[in-house]
Amino acid sequence: MPADALKCRICETEYPAVASGSCPRCFGPLEPLYDWEAIAREVSRERIAAGPRSIWRYAPLLPVAPPPEAAGGPGWTPLVAAPRLAAEVGVGELFLKLDHTNPTHSFKDRVVAVAAAKARELGTDTLACASTGNLGNAVASRAASLGMRSVVLYPNTVEPEKLRATAVYGGTMLAVRGSYDDCSRLVVELAGELDWAFVNVNLRAYYAEGSKTLAFETAEQLGWSLPDAVVSPIASGSLFTKLWQGFGQLERLGLVDGPLPRLFGGQAEGCSPVAAAYAGERAVTPVRPATVAQSLAIGAPADGDLAVSTARASGGAIHAVAEEDVGANMALLARESGIFGETAAGVTLGALRAAVAARQLGADDRVVLLVTGTGLKTPAVVDVGEPVEIDADVDDVLEQLGVPV
């Protein structure tokens, strides 16, 4: 039951469900318009449970029809308890939503799957995007699987691991001498010139909806109950705001009971326009990124102001995390849970620790922390020291282990 119209978030003008990311009247963002009465007749816990183990189990809540390969993912990633990490940071229960287990090892596979489904519906032959790394991986992979062309514009400073994880799919990669915001400006200009599917420009209204599935899965995997809080990284602000929208839609349909979770966001200090706006009780102003968390390095976040209002509406907060703490938090996550998350996860864990320190979260809270990407894409940030070299001699091993010979 795909959405058949778009609606401007600002002036509420309605448009056909075409490839358009902003309102021609006021330039506000467009969002899919759903028939909630029809969806309520279609959706139930039982029907969802009978669906594929992917984001497409929630197809009635997404703006496009599921593709033929719906059962193949992405989505339906593990939600695992992390009791040792919970005790370490000081919350009652802590669950990790492991989106690094998606096909290209980040949550971006969710949003690209929805955008690609719309691109096929529109008959477009090229998927394109501006990316800080993970989105490019997802776009190139999805395009390769569908036999489409891919074009990705990256800042030339992106981690080499992420570049290789895009190049392997055979698409076109353009390294831009500039920031992500420069890349974003270029794809906006190109979207006016080329009949391509720019997933985070002219298909943004559909693309962003894929993030809601993280909220849907979290609730279902907790037995259709809601956590007290969810902690998420913030880059453009889209993921953060769509989480809130997703939980709200479940409540609207009567699929969950109880209060909606408080949402806590994190940004690295070197690129924290949304955290600064939240703390200063003002509008978001652009910054020039200077951060190790390159996947979050968006200096002019499109949904930054909405993220601030979302944090306030949910009763949560947005925290800036010191640059030197990002790698340390990645290491803490790995040591206490066995999960190696990327820099975004280090920021997210830092935001959780900041919320506990501010007494916004504590021992009575059940918390879900999003691990949105794998640490294998950003290994250089973590200081793990050097291995100890030894001779091939058992006595040397025992000596190094401090065991008396």
Report the CATH number that the domain containing residue 366 is assigned in CATH: 3.40.50.1100
Map residue 81 onto helix, strand or coil: strand
pLDDT at 1: 56
Domain region containing 337:
79-104+209-381
Is 371 within a domain?
Answer: yes
Output the tens digit of pLDDT for each of the chain's 405 residues. 578 899 998 999 999 888 777 888 888 889 999 999 999 999 999 999 999 999 999 999 999 999 988 888 899 999 999 999 999 999 999 999 999 999 999 999 999 999 999 999 999 999 999 999 999 999 999 999 999 999 999 999 999 999 999 999 999 999 999 999 999 999 999 998 999 999 999 999 999 999 999 999 999 999 999 999 999 999 999 999 999 999 999 999 999 988 999 999 999 999 999 999 999 999 999 999 999 999 999 999 999 999 999 999 999 999 999 999 999 999 999 999 999 999 999 999 999 999 999 999 999 999 999 999 999 999 999 988 888 899 999 999 999 999 987
CA–CA dist 158, 185 (Å, integer): 17
Residues 6+ apart with CB under 8 A from 3: 17, 32, 33, 34, 63, 64
CA 115 from chain centre, in angstroms, equals 15
Is 51 within a domain?
Answer: no
CA–CA dist 68, 64 (Å, integer): 12
| Total Cβ atoms within 10 A of residue 364 | 9
Is 364 within a domain?
Answer: yes
Map residue 198 onto helix, strand or coil: strand
| DSSP conformation letters of 365-402 | -EEEEEE-BBGGGSGGGS----PPP--S-HHHHHHHHT
pLDDT at 258: 87
Is 255 within a domain?
Answer: yes
Biggest CA–CA distance in the chain, Å, is 80
| Strand positions, DSSP E, 135-184 | 149-155, 172-176
Q: Number of structural domains, the chain?
A: 1
Q: pTM (2 decimals)?
A: 0.94
Cis status of the peptide bond prior to 74, with omega within 30 of 0: yes
| Total Cβ atoms within 10 A of residue 156 | 12
Is 10 within a domain?
Answer: no
Is 164 within a domain?
Answer: no
Beta bridge partners of 317: 264
Taken in order 325, 326, 330, 336, the sign of the CA dihedral is: positive
Is 302 within a domain?
Answer: yes
Six-digit token string for 43 = 């959706």
Taken in order 164, 168, 174, 179, the sign of the CA dihedral is: negative
Is 61 within a domain?
Answer: no
